[in-house]
């Protein structure tokens, strides 16, 4: 609750994360085993890459949120 309302709407929303997890599970469950950990990472990477193409919805009030982040985290956020 330390963040302004606009930032909280973005930070505390789990729908995006749950959707991405579902897409990753859908892509990885077809294969029962992977030969190496690197193969798993590649599969997850490709699933994320494929799904980020569909993220076209802009964030509402993005400029105001970015300004608030710049004020709150002036040492960490530089544009």
Instruction: Give tens-digit pLDDT for 35-78.
Output: 888 988 998 998 899 888 877 777 777 788 888 888 887 777 66
For residue 79, is it within any domain?
Answer: no
Q: Which domain holds residue 53?
A: 5-30+38-72
Tell whether pTM > 0.85.
no
String of DSSP letters for 32-79 = S--SSHHHHHHHHHHHHHHHHTT--PPPTTHHHHHHHHHHHTTTT---
Indicate if the pLDDT at residue 11 is higher than 80.
Answer: no
For residue 77, is it within any domain?
Answer: no
Q: Give the total number of structural domains in the chain.
A: 1
For residue 49, is it within any domain?
Answer: yes
Indicate if the pLDDT at residue 79 is higher than 70.
Answer: no
For residue 23, is it within any domain?
Answer: yes
């Amino acid at each position: 609750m330390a963040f302004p309302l606009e930032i909280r709407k973005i930070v505390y929303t789990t729908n995006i994360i749950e959707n991405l997890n579902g897409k990753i599970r859908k892509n990885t469950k077809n294969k029962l085993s992977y030969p190496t950990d690197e193969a798993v990472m590649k599969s997850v990477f490709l699933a994320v890459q494929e799904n980020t193409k569909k993220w076209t919805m802009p964030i509402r009030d993005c400029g105001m949120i970015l300004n608030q982040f710049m004020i709150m985290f002036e040492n960490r956020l530089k544009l």
